[in-house]
Structure formats: C-alpha cells, structure tokens
C-alpha cells in the first residue's frame, strides 16, 4: 500500500500527462477535484471551449462581501523529449537526493498541489478565511491561454468572484531568496517570408528568396545583439529588454532523398519568438519589422501573431505596483518575511503567464513560485524539484493564504 503524503499527491499529479499537443485534462481535473473534495472545497468545472475544462475551487470566507483572493495554476505542460531525460518525464521519479523529476515539477504543477496542501494544513489548525479564496486550474496556458484564462476573465463566473488580488506562477531562483514578478513580457510570434526568382543551384544572381531572407536574419540578429548588450553591460535585467530568437527556418524543394540541392527556392520563411517588455512601444516595433526586417520593397512579407494584450482597459502597461500604493504588496512581503524567508528585488518575468489576462482587468497580480536554491529548468530536459523545496513551499503558502485572506484594510 502506497503512503499518502503531500509528496505522493504531487507525484500522482505529475504522472498525469497534460503535455501538449494531447493534454489529458480530464484525468487532471478528476484528480484535483478529488483532492478538493477531501478538503471540503466547492468545485465547479467550467468549459469555455470543448474538451478544455477549467476547474474552479472555492474556500468560502466568513465575509463574502470583501474582494476575494485568487490563486492560479495551469493544468498543461510543454512537451518533453523522453529519450533525453535521466528519468522518464511522466514518472515523477524521486532520486536519492530528493529531486523529483518530471515535466511540470517547476512549471507549474508544484504550486497547484502546494495551494491545496497549504489549505489542508490551515484547516488542521482550524484556520478559517475572512475573504473567500479561489483556486483556478486552467487549460492551455502554454499555447497562449485563449481558450483558458483569456475567456475565463471575460466570463460572468469570473466577474462573480470579485477578485481583489491574485497570485500566479513565477520562476525558480538559483539563489537563497525567492523571486517575485510584477509583470510579464508579451510574446509576438513573427513569421517573415521572402520571395525571389528561382534558379539553378550553380548560378550566382541577386535577390533570391534565400539571400533575401538571410539578409533579414542578419538585421534581426543585429537588433538582438543590441538588446543583449544592454543586459551584458549590466544596464538591464534579461526581461527588461526586447528579446528575439529564431525558432524555425523553412525553405527548399523536397526531392526523393531529401532536398533538391541544385535548385534555389523561390520562397523562404523564418519564425521568431519575440518578447516585448510591458513598456515597449508596439507601433515602433511594427515599424521596425515592416521597414527593416521584412521590407516589401525587397519582396518580403511578415505576419505578427500577438499572444495577449499589452495594455489594460485604461491603456496602461500591465504592471502590478510593488510599493506602498499597493497594499497587497506589503501583505505579500510581510507574509514571506514572517516565515524567515527573503525576497529578491521584484522583476519582470522573461517569459509569459496567464497573469497578463488578470492584470488587463485591473487586478493586481504577483508571479510567485516558492522555489529557491533551485536551477531554472522550465521547458528544459530533466525538469525537477527537490522534495524539501516543495515541502517548504507549502509552509510559505500557509503564510500567504492566512495573511491575504484575513487582510482587512484594502477593498481592492
């Protein structure tokens, strides 16, 4: 008979394969629903798209008229390459040093279980919240959240929650202090396409599609270097500049045994992951792309897919204040320090989370995953988390939940 503990419950969740492109959301939701049931939480399964459940859990507060607290975590994960892992990515193998291996250990299945285990411990101490506490377990974060968090925040069910403050995932800290994030960068998926006359592979002529595209790649690389240099010079954090990284190249005529090596193709395409900071001027970025990266005069075109909003309903950048103007910030900070932990300077997250959709609604949100002395392994091979770090995180959330849910001074 297998023991039942926070660690084994974490392992059970990790063994449910919710990686794209075929996430098993149903198994994840029924597992989490059973956990919620054992805690006496209210549970609702919402569908904003077919086969994409969103599980909403509630621990009602004694004063439901006060704005509530929302803890968010996504159900899905990015895919893994099992052959390149030390232990299979859905085995939740626990090594001798306590490291639990699995896709989702850091991003972000740990926090979902930690939220629930913190509630379990608080209930054991007969704690009861003043404000209602909600946990949202959302689908599709890793593919943009359009059928998950984006639709949820626009729903009447969400409006009814009257959320005053929220926590969402953060990132691991390699140092002995926790990291906290007040904003995300916003992804643009950029496709650049070039055309040019085709020709024999032996000919040198001007304006081929490939030559054309490679010129663009060089221009993009120079921009990338200019941004990266600011970081290398110590003038900005990683996430305070615009990043651009090539993620695919597509060209060439297919022949029986691979590519036709002696044909210069008439079309070529490159894809880039571009991340804008919360204060990047999108119009200036568009102008740069249109004029410098994919000029129509050089037979080029481009497509930008914006993965989320850059501004809130008032036209302001999506940033949560981390100063005295935001009373929740003090409560958050105090809850961390009161358990003897340290926070590093608040940062912009280099990647992107569903927090942007909440911030767009004007809700203050902090990105936080209590993982310190931990290598940053999200989306990497051998993603893992030490059992002791996971257990410590539960204690941190006990402090956060009790402080946030009993905070009386702010109405928003």
Is residue 4 annotated as a catalytic residue, yes or no? no
Give the nearest distance from C-beta 145 to ligand MET in angstroms.
7
Of 33 and 151, nearer to ligand MET (C-beta) is 151
Residue 144 site contact among Zn ion, ligand MET, none (CB < 5 to 8 Å, cut-off depends on kind): ligand MET
β-bridge partners, 367: 168, 181
Residue 129 site contact among Zn ion, ligand MET, none (CB < 5 to 8 Å, cut-off depends on kind): none
Is residue 141 annotated as a catalytic residue, yes or no? yes
Stretch that binds Zn ion, among 21-29, 105-113, 285-293, 316-324 (CB under 5 A): 105-113
Residue 252 near residue 265, CB atoms below 8 Å: yes
What end-to-end distance do the CA atoms of the chain give, in Å? 47
3-state secondary structure string, 265-319?
Answer: CCEEEEEEEEEECCCCCHHHHHHHHHHHHCCHHHCEEEEEEECCCCECCCCCECC
Q: Which tokens belong to 162?
A: 């009257």
Q: Is residue 144 involved in binding ligand MET (CB under 6 A)?
A: yes
Choice among 76, 168, 240, 383 that is catalytic: 76
State how far the Cα of 124 lies from the Cα of 54, in Å rounded to an integer: 27
State how far the Cα of 45 lies from the Cα of 37, in Å rounded to an integer: 13
Of 217 and 239, nearer to ligand MET (C-beta) is 239
Query: 358 burial class (0-12, 13-18, 19+ CB within 10 angstroms)?
Result: buried
Q: Spell out, one character per residue from 122 to 141, where the chain touches ligand MET: x when CB under 6 A holds, - when not.
A: -------------------x
Sole binder of ligand MET in the list 139, 187, 196, 393 (CB under 6 A): 187
Which residues ranging from 328 to 387 are in contact with ligand MET (CB under 6 A)? Answer: 351-353
Sole binder of ligand MET in the list 142, 147, 168, 383 (CB under 6 A): 142
User: Rounded to whole angstroms, what are the CA distances from 38 to 47, 110, 116, 191?
Assistant: 23, 19, 10, 48
Give the nearest distance from C-beta 295 to Zn ion in angstroms.
34
Which residues ranging from 267 to 326 are in contact with ligand MET (CB under 6 A)? Answer: 307
Q: CB 96: neighbour CB atoms within 10 A? A: 5
Residues in the annotated binding site for Zn(2+): 74, 107, 142, 169, 379
State how far the Cα of 169 lies from the Cα of 181, in Å rounded to an integer: 9
Residue 108 site contact among ligand MET, Zn ion, none (CB < 5 to 8 Å, cut-off depends on kind): Zn ion
Element (H, E) at 7: helix 6-14
Choice among 141, 147, 240, 354 that is catalytic: 141
State how far the Cα of 260 lies from the Cα of 252, in Å rounded to an integer: 7
Residues in the annotated binding site: 74, 107, 142, 169, 379
Give the nearest distance from C-beta 168 to ligand MET in angstroms.
11
Q: What is the DSSP letter of 343?
A: B
Give the nearest distance from C-beta 21 to Zn ion in angstroms.
15
3-state secondary structure string, 154-205?
Answer: CCHHHHHHCEEEEEECCCCCCCCCECCEEEECEEEEEEEEEECCCEECCCCC
Residue 76 site contact among ligand MET, Zn ion, none (CB < 5 to 8 Å, cut-off depends on kind): none
Sole binder of Zn ion in the list 18, 71, 107, 360 (CB under 5 A): 107
Which residues ranging from 163 to 182 are in contact with Zn ion (CB under 5 A)? Answer: 169
Of 145 and 164, nearer to Zn ion (C-beta) is 145
How many chain residues are in contact with ligand MET, going by CB under 6 A? 8
Of 84 and 412, nearer to Zn ion (C-beta) is 84
Q: Is 362 left (phi over 0), alpha (psi -120 to 50) or beta?
A: left
Residue 307 site contact among ligand MET, Zn ion, none (CB < 5 to 8 Å, cut-off depends on kind): ligand MET
How many chain residues are in contact with Zn ion, going by CB under 5 A? 3
Q: Which residue is associated with the tokens 């629930």?
A: 116
State how far the Cα of 142 lies from the Cα of 120, in Å rounded to an integer: 28
Sole binder of Zn ion in the list 16, 105, 108, 240 (CB under 5 A): 108
Residues with a catalytic annotation lie at 76, 141
Binding site for ligand MET (CB under 6 A): 141-142, 144, 187, 307, 351-353
């Amino acid at each position: 008979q297998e023991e039942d503990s926070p660690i084994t419950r974490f392992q059970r969740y990790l063994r449910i394969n919710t990686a794209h492109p075929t996430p098993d959301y149903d198994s994840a939701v029924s597992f989490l629903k059973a956990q919620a049931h054992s805690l006496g939480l209210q549970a609702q399964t919402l569908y904003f798209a077919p086969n994409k459940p969103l599980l909403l859990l509630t621990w009602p507060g004694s004063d439901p008229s006060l704005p509530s607290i929302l803890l968010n975590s996504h159900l899905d994960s990015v895919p893994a390459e099992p052959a390149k892992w030390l232990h299979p990515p859905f085995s939740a193998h626990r090594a001798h040093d306590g490291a639990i291996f699995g896709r989702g250990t850091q991003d972000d299945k740990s926090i979902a279980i930690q939220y629930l285990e913190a509630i379990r411990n608080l209930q054991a101490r007969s704690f009861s919240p003043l404000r209602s506490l909600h946990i949202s377990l959302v689908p599709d974060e890793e593919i943009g959240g359009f059928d998950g968090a984006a639709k949820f925040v626009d729903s009447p069910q969400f409006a009814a929650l009257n959320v005053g403050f929220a926590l969402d995932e953060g990132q691991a800290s390699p140092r002995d202090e926790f990291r906290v994030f007040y904003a995300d960068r916003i992804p643009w998926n950029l496709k650049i396409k070039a055309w040019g006359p085709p020709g024999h592979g032996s000919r040198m002529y001007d304006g081929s599609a490939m030559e054309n595209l490679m010129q663009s790649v060089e221009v993009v690389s120079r921009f990338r270097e200019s941004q990266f240099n600011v970081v290398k010079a110590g003038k900005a954090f990683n996430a305070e500049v615009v990043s651009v990284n090539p993620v695919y190249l597509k060209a060439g005529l297919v022949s029986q045994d691979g590519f036709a090596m002696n044909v210069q193709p008439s079309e070529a395409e490159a894809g880039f992951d571009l991340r804008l900071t919360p204060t990047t001027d999108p119009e200036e970025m568009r102008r740069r792309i249109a004029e410098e990266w994919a000029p129509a005069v050089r037979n080029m075109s481009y497509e930008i897919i914006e993965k989320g909003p850059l501004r809130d309903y008032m036209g302001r950048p999506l940033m949560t204040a981390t100063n005295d103007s935001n009373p929740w910030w003090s409560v958050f900070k105090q809850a961390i320090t009161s358990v003897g932990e340290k926070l590093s300077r608040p940062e912009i997250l280099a990647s992107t989370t569903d927090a942007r959709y909440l911030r767009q609604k004007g809700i203050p949100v902090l990105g936080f995953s209590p993982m310190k002395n931990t290598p940053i392994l999200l989306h990497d091979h051998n993603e893992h988390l030490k059992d002791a770090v996971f257990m410590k995180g539960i204690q941190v959330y006990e402090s956060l939940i009790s402080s946030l849910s009993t905070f009386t001074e702010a109405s928003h």
